[in-house]
């Protein structure tokens, strides 16, 4: 079984030590996904695996055999923007841009999680459908670190995307 990356079949590497992140960046030239810490602490390497946000630095590429990977390169057509990308520009959601692909992949998955009613650490009551408050978005985005401190713009962009008020 191949790994399906952005709709294309890719053979799993023969060396099981290769991480999904290194497969993407070093072997497939999909360098939109960034390597920050390489140890699960920063979120720069976030991709969607079967629609869920996960860290490509801690995923072995061989584990992804048969699974569907979506990276930042595939969220919009050439010369067009995904609504969340447009929102980041609107709100100044970045400075150096290094964390941005991970933030955007994380934000896209976050919307799905909220729509299906998944609670977070700050959701007041576990039985309630969580509201897209800034506090909720901040907590849910805490796995994506921004060294430049563009957090306010990031939270604003994702909030408006989740609330559908773009």
Partner 1 sequence: MELFTYERAHNPEAAVIAGAPSRAKFLGGGTNLVDLMREGIERPSALVDVTGLSQTIVETAEGGLLIGAAASNAAVAEHRLVRNRYPALSRAILAGASAQIRNMATVGGNILQRTRCRYFYDVNGARCNKRDPGQGCDAIGGFNRYHAVLGTSSHCIATHPSDMCIPLVAFDAIVHLAANGGSRSIKLAELHRDPGDTPQIETALDPGELITAIELPPLALARRSAYRKVRDRASYAFALISVAAALHVDDNRVTDVRLALGGVAHKPWRALIAERALVGQPATYDTFLAAARAELRAAQTQRDNAFKPELAARTIAAVLRTLAEEQA
Distance separating alpha carbons of residues 30 and 18, to the nearest angstrom? 15
Can residue 16 be called a binding residue for ligand FAD (CB under 6 A)? no
112 binds partner 1 (CB under 8 A): no
Size of the residue set binding partner 1 (CB under 8 A): 35
What six digits make up the tokens of 43?
């979120």
**Closer CB to ligand FAD, 86 or 145, in the complex:** 145
55: β partners: 46
- If binding is defined by CB under 8 A, does position 152 make contact with partner 1? no
Q: Which of residues 139-158 bind ligand FES (CB under 6 A)?
A: 146-148, 150
* Separation between Cα atoms, residue 40 and residue 132, nearest integer Å: 26
Which of the choices ligand FAD, partner 1, ligand FES, none does residue 164 contact, using the CB cut-off of 5 to 8 A by kind? none
Torsion of CA 69, 70, 73, 78, to 10 degrees: 120
**Residue 16, interface with partner 1 (CB under 8 A)?**
yes
Nearest residue to 5 (alpha-carbon basis) of 40, 43, 56: 56
Cβ nearer to partner 1, comparing 83 with 112? 112
Which residues lie near ligand FAD (CB under 6 A)? 40-41
């Amino acid at each position: 079984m191949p790994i399906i990356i952005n709709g294309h079949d890719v053979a799993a590497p023969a060396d099981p030590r290769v991480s999904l992140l290194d497969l993407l960046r070093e072997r497939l030239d999909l360098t939109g996904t960034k390597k920050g810490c390489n140890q699960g602490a920063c979120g720069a390497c976030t991709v969607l695996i079967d629609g869920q946000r996960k860290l490509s630095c801690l995923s072995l590429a061989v584990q992804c055999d048969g699974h569907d990977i979506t990276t930042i390169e595939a969220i919009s057509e050439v010369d067009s923007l995904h609504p969340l990308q447009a929102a980041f520009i609107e709100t100044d959601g970045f400075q150096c841009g290094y964390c941005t692909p991970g933030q955007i992949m994380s934000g896209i998955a976050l919307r799905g999680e909220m729509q299906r009613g998944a609670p977070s650490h700050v959701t007041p009551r576990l039985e309630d459908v969580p509201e897209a408050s800034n506090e909720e978005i901040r907590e849910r985005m805490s796995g994506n670190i921004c060294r430049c401190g563009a957090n306010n713009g990031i939270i604003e962009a994702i909030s408006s995307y989740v609330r559908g008020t773009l």
